[in-house]
């Protein structure tokens, strides 16, 4: 919402006409191709009326109070997407920029036994699971078990949006045991198939579907989970291995922080090493090249914007550093097997019962 018009100062009062859509935006951070100039942003129909400055300040104070209540004292919003006796799906929007880890918490749920899967749609954060640190972004998710100890930090300053799936072991126990990574390695590589299944699940839940279809879509999502990458043994000292992992996590945080138009040379300068060393270490730790990883981030950022209603591929190509619209379409198809228009149709707010 703008409190002014170009060339003409304007003050306004707003009141919410639609509930349940409070969104916080980071200060001076780029989101969906536009610069946010800070503060609280409300999504949904709003009514503006001309009033005095005192009423504007009072109104902003009320909005801040609503957000504090919604976030429970912290910069996080939880939005339930689906709930059942053995399955909970929650969307989490977090605007934390705290670089140090928050106090750890134990994974627990309303069910007697639960496996928790966390998949990121945009942004990224650092997770410490039972002492193991892993940067998590749209290319990497992770799985938690009941009793795991987890803490989070946010080296990137962008807002992150994630989906948390709590899977009851009474129904999903066998599936989790067969398809999800072992407890000692909680990392889930997010392939194009898993990412698309995740985004389609969120879109369908928002549109409103029954428990039967939710369960079927979740089972389909679980079948797309790939085998985690295991870095090759190099004979290097443990301290060197840890230093390389920290370098990779730092690099991923810098890319998430944006812009994704950054050059390899500039990326090397930001993380403090040569482009050659950075490329070699990144490939060794992750099993993929920096270019492929960056393209995955760009493709998934485009998918997130398409799901949000953005339709101009030319604008998205410029925003995320593609040479032109044809280049965006070509890279998008290479990574997803689909053209952007097809994925946009898949992620539109459709009715229940559509093909999974």
Q: Where are the domains of the chain?
A: 4-71, 76-223, 238-347
Residue 50 and residue 7: Cα distance in Å, rounded?
Answer: 16
Residue 253 and residue 153: Cα distance in Å, rounded?
Answer: 11
The residues with which 117 forms a beta bridge, in sequence order, are 143, 165
76-223 belongs to which CATH class?
mainly beta
Cis preceding-peptide flag for 259 (omega within 30 of 0): yes
**Homologous superfamily (CATH) for 238-347:** Homeodomain-like (1.10.10.60)
The residues, any chain, with a CB within 8 Å of residue 243's CB and separated by 6 or more, are: none
User: The pTM is what?
Assistant: 0.74
- Backbone dihedral region for residue 303 (phi beyond 0: left; psi -120 to 50: alpha; all else: beta): alpha
Residue 211 and residue 213: Cα distance in Å, rounded?
Answer: 6
Q: Which residue, among 15, 113, 123, 128, has the nearest Cα to 75 in the 3D structure?
A: 123
CB 193 within 8 A of CB 299: no
Orientation angle between helical segments 192-207 and 290-307, nearest 10 degrees: 10
CB 257 within 8 A of CB 157: yes
From residue 277, give the alpha-carbon distance in Å to each of 247, 273, 274: 10, 7, 5
Count the helix, strand and coil residues of the chain and give each as a percent rounded to the nearest 5: 40, 25, 35
Residue 86 and residue 129: Cα distance in Å, rounded?
Answer: 23
The residues, any chain, with a CB within 8 Å of residue 164's CB and separated by 6 or more, are: 88, 89, 90, 91, 92, 116, 117, 118
> Rg for the chain (alpha carbons), in Å?
21
3-state secondary structure of 313: helix
Residue 90 and residue 275: Cα distance in Å, rounded?
Answer: 39
Q: Give the pLDDT confidence score for residue 50 in this predicted structure.
A: 44
Q: Give the pLDDT confidence score for residue 155 in this predicted structure.
A: 83
Q: Which residue, among 356, 313, 342, has the nearest Cα to 223 in the 3D structure?
A: 356
CB 112 within 8 A of CB 147: no
Residue 57 and residue 149: Cα distance in Å, rounded?
Answer: 41
Residue 271 and residue 301: Cα distance in Å, rounded?
Answer: 22
- The rounded average pLDDT for each run of 10 residues, N- to C-terminus, in the chain (356 residues) is 38 34 34 36 38 52 42 67 90 83 79 82 91 90 88 85 90 75 80 95 93 93 81 71 92 91 94 95 93 96 92 93 96 95 85 54
Q: Give the pLDDT confidence score for residue 14 in this predicted structure.
A: 34
3-state secondary structure of 18: coil
Q: Give the pLDDT confidence score for residue 293 in this predicted structure.
A: 96
- b/e 112-147 (16+ beta carbons within 10 angstroms → b): ebbbbbbbbbbbbbbbbbeeeebbbbbbbbbbbbbe
- b/e 249-260 (16+ beta carbons within 10 angstroms → b): bbbbbbbbbbeb
């Amino acid at each position: 919402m703008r409190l002014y018009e170009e060339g003409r100062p304007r003050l306004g009062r707003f009141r919410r006409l639609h509930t349940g859509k409070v969104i916080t935006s980071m200060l001076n951070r780029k989101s969906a191709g536009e610069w946010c100039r800070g503060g609280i942003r409300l999504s949904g129909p709003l009514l503006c009326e001309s009033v005095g400055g005192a009423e504007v300040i009072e109104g902003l104070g009320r909005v801040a109070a609503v957000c504090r209540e919604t976030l429970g004292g912290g910069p996080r919003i939880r939005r339930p997407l689906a709930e059942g006796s053995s399955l909970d799906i929650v969307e989490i929007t977090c605007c934390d920029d705290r670089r140090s880890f928050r106090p750890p918490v134990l994974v627990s749920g309303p069910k007697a036994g639960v496996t928790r899967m966390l998949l990121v749609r945009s942004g990224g954060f650092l997770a410490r699971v039972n002492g193991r640190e892993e940067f998590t972004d749209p290319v990497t998710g992770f799985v938690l078990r009941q009793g795991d100890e987890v803490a989070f930090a946010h080296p990137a300053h962008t807002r992150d949006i994630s989906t948390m799936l709590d899977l009851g072991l009474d129904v999903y126990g066998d599936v989790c045991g067969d398809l999800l990574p072992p407890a000692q390695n909680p990392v889930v590589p997010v392939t194009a198939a898993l990412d698309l299944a995740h985004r389609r699940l969120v879109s369908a839940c928002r549109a409103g579907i029954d428990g039967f279809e939710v369960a079927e879509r979740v089972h389909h999502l679980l079948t797309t989970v790939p085998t985690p990458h295991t870095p090759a043994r190099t004979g290097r000292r443990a301290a060197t291995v840890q230093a390389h992992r920290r370098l990779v996590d730092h690099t991923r945080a810098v890319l998430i922080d944006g812009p994704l138009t950054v050059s390899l040379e500039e990326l090397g300068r930001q993380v403090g090493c040569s482009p050659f060393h950075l490329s070699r270490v990144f490939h060794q730790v992750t099993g993929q090249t920096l270019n492929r990883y960056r393209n995955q981030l760009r493709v998934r950022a485009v998918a997130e914007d398409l799901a949000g209603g953005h339709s101009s591929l030319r604008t998205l190509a410029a925003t995320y550093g593609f040479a032109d619209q044809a280049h965006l379409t070509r890279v998008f198809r290479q990574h997803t097997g689909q053209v952007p228009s097809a994925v946009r149709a898949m992620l539109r707010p459709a009715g229940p019962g559509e093909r999974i």
